[in-house]
Amino acid sequence: MGTPVLIDISSTLLLIAFLLYIVATICFVVTITGKKWSVEQGENPKKKWGKIGFLTTLVGFGCHLGFFFLRWIGQGHTPTSNMFEFMSVLSLTVILGFIIIHAIYRVASLGAFVLPVTVTLIGWASVFDTNPKPLIPALQSHWLTLHVTTVSIGEGIFAVGFAAGLMYVLRTVDQKKSSAQTFALEFFLFTVLILVGFIILSFLFSAIGYEVSFEYINERGEEQTITYTLPAIAGPHEGEQITAERMQPIISTPSWMQGVDAPRKFNTMIWSVLGGLVLYVGLRLLIRKRLGAAMQPWVMELKPSMLDEISYRAIAIAFPIFTLGGLIFAMIWAEQAWGRFWGWDPKEVWALITWLFYATYLHLRLSRGWHGAKSAWLAVIGFIIIMFNLVFVNLVIAGLHSYA
């Protein structure tokens, strides 16, 4: 279906955008870390690198937009209907959020933390099935485009608030002694490394085309064949391996894990955690201090008050957009498609939870005691909730929205 040529071009554009974002990230990191450079005559080299980084980001954004529209034309509907498309659109709107906030505050170094979010999201998106799929009747509506893009724009700007919040935490945490905050920060960075580990492993094993299949009795008591794309550390409970010459499972999935394809998901989780552990421990051995402590000098030159304000401002700008897309458009569409504007579907509830969370955040900002570290942590948690809703609720908690 559609025009395969355009889809191919769009995929290439996404790859180019991905690479440009990596280049831009490096430029931004140079901006914030290269303080030892002497100021030569002419332009401040830091400013120059910031400018180069921002221009690279803009070019990347252009390619990314090209991906979006070519895929739209190529498949005949907006690329907003499966996990790959949701994530690549979100990665696009994160950059949009960065451009908006940059236009207000002109803090290029923010890019050093925002762009990795996009890079990770594009990488993550590519783990899912990237083939265009025909649109089922429930999704054939202009509201699909409106709802998903508006929500994404809101979430993209929330992501900028998250990045600034994270930078605030990195900047202000006292790394001289270990505390609950340093622990929480390390734990968060570890979680990010789990994700990175998952993406790298998925790519490695899909590059060599690894597959191993099992037969087992699934959660509905039916016989099922399940195919792993990662070597099986945990096989299905009382499962039988049907692909020869592959690693034998070391353990079996606990029988109480009952869900669609639970054994494979459990196995993937083990791999991801192991991958994250290897990365984390490796890095710790390499730099011999907390990751947070190693990153702290990067952000040392930034003013905490500026980061606090950017984080708050980004969330304040994003909140009405999220309300419009995630609640109002969602209700109008739900009314039109399902005959009820609100149905307590898990995805809807999680959108409400996200909304309530940020509403609480904005109210707490009224009192001065919640400025600074507390509010920065809330900005971080808020984005974790968004990612949870995007990934976990779609893939694990079944509901009307689980298309991916």
Partner 1 sequence: MEQIRCECGHENPYGTEICQSCGKPFDNKQDILNMRYEGVARRSQTYNKSLVDRIWNFFASVRVGMTMLFILLVASILGTIYPQQMYIPQTVEPLLYYEEQYGQLGYLYALLGFHNLYSSWWYITLLVLIGISITIASIDRFIPLYRSLKRQGVRRHPSFMSRQRIFGKSEVDHPEKVMHRVKAQLQKQRYRVREEDGALLGEKARFNRWGPYVVHVGLIILLIGALIRIMPGVTMEEYMWIRDGETVPVPGTDRQFYVKSEGFDLDVYDETSAEEWVPEEFRTEAVLYENVAEDKMGEPQLEEIKRQTIKVNQPLKHDTLKLYQSDFILNEFSEFSFHVKHKQSGDILGEVTVDLYQPQSQYDLGGGNKVELIEYYPDFELDENQQPATKSNIPNNPAFIFEVTTPHVPEGEHSWIFVGQKIEAPGNENQYELSISDVQFNNVSGLMVREERVLPIIYTGLGIAMIGLMMCYYWQHRRIWIQQEGNEIWLAAHTHKNWYGMQKEVVKLIESTELMNPSHLKISKDFLDKEE
CA–CA dist 50, 58 (Å, integer): 12
CA–CA dist 192, 236 (Å, integer): 27
* Residue 397 binds partner 1 (CB under 8 A): yes
* Residue 363 binds partner 1 (CB under 8 A): yes
Which of helix, strand or coil describes residue 174?
Answer: coil
Q: What is the DSSP string of 275-339?
A: HHHHHHHHHHHHH-S-HHHHHHHHHTTS-HHHHHHHHHHHHHHHHHHHIIIIIIIHHHHHHHHHS
* Residue 105 binds partner 1 (CB under 8 A): yes
**Smallest separation, CB 196 to partner 1 (Å):** 27
**From 19, 96, 337, 395, residue interacting with partner 1 (rule: CB under 8 A):** 337
**Smallest separation, CB 397 to partner 1 (Å):** 6
**Smallest separation, CB 303 to partner 1 (Å):** 6
* Residue 356 binds partner 1 (CB under 8 A): yes
Segment lying near partner 1 (by CB under 8 A), choices 22-30, 73-81, 128-136, 243-251: 128-136
**For partner 1, the closer CB: 50 or 132:** 132
Pull the structure tokens for residue 200.
């790298």
* Residue 369 binds partner 1 (CB under 8 A): no
CA–CA dist 173, 292 (Å, integer): 8
395 Cβ neighbours under 8 A, 6+ residues apart: 83, 265, 402, 404
Footprint (CB under 8 A) of partner 1, residues 225-264? 256, 258
**From 270, 341, 381, 404, residue interacting with partner 1 (rule: CB under 8 A):** 341
Amino acid at 196: V
CA–CA dist 258, 397 (Å, integer): 12
Nearest in space to 382 (alpha carbons), one of 318, 337, 293, 302: 318
Eight-state DSSP code of residue 254 = -
- Phi and psi at residue 386, to the nearest 5°: -60, -45
Segment lying near partner 1 (by CB under 8 A), choices 68-76, 124-132, 275-283, 350-358: 350-358
Footprint (CB under 8 A) of partner 1, residues 60-99? none
Instruction: For residue 106, give the H/E element and its range.
Output: none
* Residue 368 binds partner 1 (CB under 8 A): yes
**For partner 1, the closer CB: 196 or 321:** 321
**Smallest separation, CB 59 to partner 1 (Å):** 28
**For partner 1, the closer CB: 15 or 306:** 306
237 Cβ neighbours under 8 A, 6+ residues apart: 216, 252, 253, 254, 255, 257, 263
CA–CA dist 98, 316 (Å, integer): 14
**Smallest separation, CB 360 to partner 1 (Å):** 5
C-alpha torsion 203→283→382→322, nearest 10: -40
**Smallest separation, CB 309 to partner 1 (Å):** 7
Binding pattern for the stretch 313-332 against partner 1, x by CB under 8 A and - elsewhere = x--xx-xx--xx--xx--xx
**Smallest separation, CB 256 to partner 1 (Å):** 6
CA distance readout (Å), 278 to 18, 231, 281, 366, 396: 25, 17, 5, 42, 26
Binding pattern for the stretch 135-174 against partner 1, x by CB under 8 A and - elsewhere = -xxx-xx-x----------------------------x--
* Residue 2 binds partner 1 (CB under 8 A): no
The residue ranges that bind partner 1 (CB under 8 A) are: 1, 104-105, 133-134, 136-138, 140-141, 143, 172, 256, 258, 303-305, 308-309, 313, 316-317, 319-320, 323-324, 327-328, 331-332, 335-341, 343-346, 349-350, 352-353, 356-357, 359-360, 363-364, 366-368, 371-372, 393, 397-399
